[in-house]
Amino acid sequence: MAIKFDVALSTSVIAFAFNGANLVSLVGEKSEEPYKGAPMLPSKWVRANESVEDVAKNMMKRLLKIDHIYLEQLNAFARVYRNPMGRVVNIAYYALLNWDEVKAVKIPGYRWVSLADKPEMIFDHNEIHDMAYERLKRRVKGRPIGFVLLAKQFTFNNIHTLYEECLGKELDKRNFRKKFMRSELLMDTTESVIEAPGNKKPSRLYEFNQHKYDKLTLKGYDFKF
Amino acid sequence: MAIKFDVALSTSVIAFAFNGANLVSLVGEKSEEPYKGAPMLPSKWVRANESVEDVAKNMMKRLLKIDHIYLEQLNAFARVYRNPMGRVVNIAYYALLNWDEVKAVKIPGYRWVSLADKPEMIFDHNEIHDMAYERLKRRVKGRPIGFVLLAKQFTFNNIHTLYEECLGKELDKRNFRKKFMRSELLMDTTESVIEAPGNKKPSRLYEFNQHKYDKLTLKGYDFKF
DNA sequence: TCAAAAGTGTTATCGCTACACCCATGG
DNA sequence: CCATGGGTGTAGCGATAACACTTTTGA
Residues B115-131: tens digit of each pLDDT: 999 999 999 999 999 99
Q: How confident is the model at residue A10 (pLDDT cuts 50, 70, 90)?
A: very high
Q: Is the pLDDT of residue A103 over 90?
A: yes
User: In this complex, do A5 and B5 lie within 8 Å of one another by their Cβ atoms?
Assistant: yes
Asked whether residue A1 is assigned to any structural domain, the reply reads: no
Residue bearing the bigger pLDDT, A41 or A193: A41
Asked whether residue B39 is assigned to any structural domain, the reply reads: yes
How confident is the model over A15-20, as a mean pLDDT? 94
B161 and B134 co-located in one domain:
no
**pLDDT tens string B67-98:** 999 999 999 999 999 999 999 999 999 999 99
Minimal C-alpha gap between A172 and chain B (Å): 21
How far is B220 from A80, CA to CA, in rounded Å? 29
Q: Is the pLDDT of residue B220 over 70?
A: no
The residue among A106, A141, A176 that closes a domain is A141
Per-residue model confidence (pLDDT) at position B215: 78
On whether the CB atoms of residues A29 and A122 are closer than 8 A, the answer is: no
Paired strand residues for A18:
A23
Q: How confident is the model at residue A220 (pLDDT cuts 50, 70, 90)?
A: low
Per-residue model confidence (pLDDT) at position A8: 97
Per-residue model confidence (pLDDT) at position B145: 84
A25 and A105 co-located in one domain:
yes
Q: Is the pLDDT of residue B223 over 80?
A: no
Residues of B in contact with A6 (CB under 8 A): 5-6, 8, 47-48
Per-residue model confidence (pLDDT) at position B59: 98
B134 and B50 co-located in one domain:
yes
Asked whether residue B195 is assigned to any structural domain, the reply reads: yes
Asked whether residue A224 is assigned to any structural domain, the reply reads: no
Asked whether residue B225 is assigned to any structural domain, the reply reads: no
Paired strand residues for B71:
B95
Asked whether residue B224 is assigned to any structural domain, the reply reads: no
How far is A74 from B108, CA to CA, in rounded Å? 35
CB-count burial class (<10 Å; 0-12, 13-18, 19+) for A198: exposed
B67 and B122 co-located in one domain:
yes
Per-residue model confidence (pLDDT) at position B221: 67
A135 and A159 co-located in one domain:
no
Query: What total of structural domains would you count in chain B?
Result: 2
A34 and A55 co-located in one domain:
yes
User: In this complex, do A8 and B9 lie within 8 Å of one another by their Cβ atoms?
Assistant: no
B118 and B150 co-located in one domain:
no
Q: Is the pLDDT of residue A83 over 90?
A: yes
Question: At B169, which CATH number?
Answer: 1.10.10.10
**A25-34, A144-153, A211-220, B150-159: least confidently modelled range:** A211-220
How confident is the model over B190-215, as a mean pLDDT? 87
B151 and B171 co-located in one domain:
yes
Tally Cβ neighbours within 10 Å of residue B109: 12
Using CB atoms, which residue from A48, A73, A80 is nearest to B7?
A: A48
B135 and B159 co-located in one domain:
no
Asked whether residue A3 is assigned to any structural domain, the reply reads: no
Per-residue model confidence (pLDDT) at position B123: 96
The residue among A94, A113, A141 that closes a domain is A141
- Write down the mean pLDDT value for chain B: 92
Q: How far is the CA of A179 from the C1' of D4 (A)?
A: 26
Q: Which of A26, A8, A12 is nearest to A84 (CA)?
A: A8
Residues of B in contact with A93 (CB under 8 A): none
- Establish if B72 touches chain A: CB-CB under 8 angstroms: no
Highest mean pLDDT among A152-161, A195-204, B71-80, B186-195: B71-80
On whether the CB atoms of residues B157 and B171 are closer than 8 A, the answer is: no
Residue bearing the bigger pLDDT, B52 or A202: B52
Per-residue model confidence (pLDDT) at position B219: 65
On whether the CB atoms of residues B63 and B42 are closer than 8 A, the answer is: yes
B20 and B94 co-located in one domain:
yes
- Write down the mean pLDDT value for chain A: 92
How do B23-29 and B111-114 pair as beta strands?
antiparallel
Question: At B45, which CATH number?
Answer: 3.90.79.10
Q: How confident is the model at residue A1 (pLDDT cuts 50, 70, 90)?
A: low
Q: How confident is the model at residue B53 (pLDDT cuts 50, 70, 90)?
A: very high
A68 and A24 co-located in one domain:
yes
How confident is the model over B207-221, as a mean pLDDT? 78
Asked whether residue B136 is assigned to any structural domain, the reply reads: yes
On whether the CB atoms of residues B137 and B166 are closer than 8 A, the answer is: yes
On whether the CB atoms of residues A196 and A158 are closer than 8 A, the answer is: no
Domain that holds residue A215: 144-219
The residue among A88, A111, A141 that closes a domain is A141
Per-residue model confidence (pLDDT) at position B33: 86
Q: Is the pLDDT of residue B222 over 80?
A: no
Residue bearing the bigger pLDDT, A35 or A198: A35
Tally Cβ neighbours within 10 Å of residue A172: 11
B56 and B17 co-located in one domain:
yes
Protein-contacted bases of chain C (C-beta within 7 A): 3-10, 16-20, 23-27
